Amino acid sequence: MKIIFVNGCFDVLHPGHIQLFEYARSLGDYLIVAIDSDEKVSQMKGEGRPIFCQDDRAKTLQAIRYIDVVHIFNSKEELEDLIKTINPDIMIVGSDWKGKEVVGEQYAKAVRFFDRVGEYSTTRTLQGLTYR
């Protein structure tokens, strides 16, 4: 069985996320997605984030047919331990991480980068929302 691993916030899902999951799953038999805890998202993205709590994000992701299991992590160390335990065949990382430290990459048999799809971005989506 070929295990694929992806991690991120996945706060407000958009078509780019779905294409990422579809691509990741096409590379193997079992897709594991790890998401940042609410506390970690708030630290990284600022006040008002996440939009959806970690349990809601996990439940939504679990309903996506490409994803087999979802884990929640609270720190860089927890993420690294998770990747070490899983020892994925392929770890998929956003291409904006090229040339940067990728947490846990030493525990994956291979790392592949995924290019952003179009202009999709959770932050951009939230900035474009207007309230009436």
Q: Would 100 be classed as within a structural domain?
A: yes
Q: What is the CATH number of the domain that holds 121?
A: 3.40.50.620
pLDDT digits (tens, 9 = 90+) for 92-121: 998 888 889 999 999 999 999 998 765 655
- Contact partners, residue 114, CB within 8 Å, separation at least 6: 20, 23, 24, 92, 93, 94, 95
Three-state DSSP state, 52: coil
Q: In total, how many domains does the chain have? A: 1
**Within a domain: residue 132?**
no
Spatial CA neighbour of 1 closest among 55, 64, 69: 69
What is the pLDDT at residue 48? Answer: 85
The CA dihedral of 68, 2, 95, 129, to the nearest 10 degrees, is -10
Query: Can you give the pTM of this predicted structure?
Result: 0.88
Task: Please state, in angstroms and rounded to a whole number, the distance separating the CA atoms of residues 116 and 73.
Answer: 23
Q: CA-CA distances (angstroms) from residue 6 to 9, 25, 35?
A: 10, 10, 9
pLDDT one-digit tens code per residue, 17-69: 999 999 999 999 999 999 999 999 999 888 888 999 999 999 999 999 999 99
Enclosing domain of residue 16: 3-127
